[in-house]
Amino acid sequence: MSFDTTIDLGEIGEQTVTVKFDYQPAERTTRDDPGCPEEVSITSVKFRGIEIKPDLCRERITELEQEAFEHMASVRRQSDEDRAERLHDLREAA
């Protein structure tokens, strides 16, 4: 998954970068499995096609992880809204 965001790149100022990440949804604890919290792992940060993740500090990566969580929440909200709209349309058609 990926999203675009703006970060400060020092001398060249605020620039748009593409952030790619892996997302692991939370899993419930069961009798046989301890479960796990939701997790995001930033895999790539590119500026104009150039990989810059190795040049970013841990604090910046943490901020991007938070943005990735927010992106996933937005995706879930949009999915829920789309589903509700489809159901409404189906009810109207019936």
- Say what the pLDDT of residue 92 is: 87
- Alpha carbon of 84 to those of 4, 72, 74, 77, 81: distances in Å? 27, 18, 15, 11, 5
Give the H or E element holding residue 44.
strand 39-47
- Res 90 pLDDT > 90: no
Q: Which residue has the tokens 């970060």?
A: 7
**In this predicted model, what pLDDT tens digit does every residue of 48-77 receive, in sequence order?**
999 999 999 999 999 999 999 999 999 989
What ranges do the domains of the chain cover?
2-93
pLDDT at 27 over 80: yes
Confidence category of residue 18, pLDDT binned at 50, 70, 90 = very high
